[in-house]
Structure 1
């Protein structure tokens, strides 16, 4: 049976890398893919007979991407303890529910950077087979760490370099799409120090070489300045957090930033709703200036929330997006960091993140102008994942039953 093809019309759309919204826009969809997107006046003749669904004054844009989540964490006061209290059968159900929470919020893709038992791979396979189950998942499996190191309880602790290499090969064979390594300690594991390196520079270089041979990118968790420096020099593809924690203070290193620019290193600063908290882990006033300098230097920044850690709910990406202008990004640049820019960094540049022919039909529609007011992203009226509608606006007669509207 040929896939159902249809046309979405809207008052405006965010197309490709256009800085401005395209008025009176249309997007043609067949099955899971976008056939064409552009101004309605330029719609190819062959597509003019498609069933059309008029979204009125809504704005169409690509589905959002949260580039740093932990589906296995419950966002409660002690995610590690909650995780230890459930078996894998229960945890798989909870992780799938969390993937649904992201999707209900208009986040059609997440990168999971730490789960046990390769359950993130399992969730990713399930949502790939049925996009209505939840957001697409880019899984890392258990992050590589040292014994008793940051997030050791996820199962990725390695005693030496041979064990690290074995872990990378196992992860590859198990279906991960990115290698995560804990270059430094972290705040979530009390026996580690966020500013202290966990691996030497030589080990990080070996990790990157092997992962790249296996065609896997490397995401390096790095709070400490020394760990950031080593991860960048090792060629890690993304630096997660990048908080420049030093000896009792933040120690920003401009030379490392210049190196990032030189080699195209991407930073996911995991800005979330807790960023401005005056009692937070890091002084936001100082950190935002570091991020501003990093952005002004030309380092690509992508959106991610660390969803699942304490008090950071799954599906709360917009909380972080609204804070990102604090360090100099325009709303349009913020949108790119959560769509096309994130897709490119995650190896999905040809798959999602754009309203463009050949890309997956991952799209949302919102009221108002998100290039002027990021807050309109909080209430997507339309959510389509892989061509499957999980939410449609009132009054739009969708041709097939719409999947449940998850709000939990």
Structure 2
């Protein structure tokens, strides 16, 4: 299987690396300082002026909307395989993808609108998202049910004449804290009498619709991720036109599978990017610090951890690139085993590398003086986001056992 990105991808990777090196990586401290000033002023929920400036520069250099394949509205979009190495580069700094209009959950929501939206829905929501004028949120997880089994979702989407009325509570609605968030994609029950995989639908809900209350920001290991945010949202008798329904009643799971496949490639490659950065930081730290009469890098335990880190990251990258290639060539359904595998493999590998990097840094590794603590928190969260490890293990095992169906026990 050829996992070599196209010449266009390699050229964009070169240009992206140059832009990141010149304009993003040197501005990490400036970003944190801006965020600290916003907090001190009592309003962390405001867009970054630094990112806005960098977005204009990135767009001028043709580094914009690189993630969306096969869309006439975004001809610059790449295939999954071609986008993957670019995604890895962006992942080294957690806010970098937004500079290129390639950040979650907008990427997944734009995929949904591009694949399943009507012309009217695309004109109203997809075009301004592609243009970077608005942001969006995805409302799926709920606080009162085991959302790892999405058939448990209780949010109700009820038809009432020419409208749908929505009632429910969602949490960890990523992006809902951003004041530019203009639309939610909400998943809920529309057909309670149908079988468990055809009971749910997805619907577009304006963020300012009457009946919506953003109740609180949810922390992730103590980080609120302002101004992006992961919010708890209550929907009480929220009424939207029936034309806001995506694809049709009972097709929510179908849409979810189409949305989550590419998103898992993005999540995993961004994680590998931060894993590479953690390995670099670990090596530099070990080479520069001495303990017990010699450089830390000369101690065998650290040499073993460096070697294992390189193995873990390269193995994970190859698996993700293979999954991306399969999605491009045989489709998401045929690649579902590989997609499930990378969602288990990549976050666990990167979590381990970051953990070793924290250990190498000692107290500095858990402090605000290092990127490592926040990187670990985000990476650990990936083992829950887009389905927990256990669900993916179940999928992998079921598909593997399916190869032997009909054989004698």
Structure with higher RCO (Cα < 8 A, 6+ apart): 1
Q: TM-score, normalised by structure 1?
A: 0.25
Q: Which has more strand, going by share of residues?
A: 1
Q: Which has the larger radius of gyration?
A: 2
Q: Which has more helix, going by share of residues?
A: 2
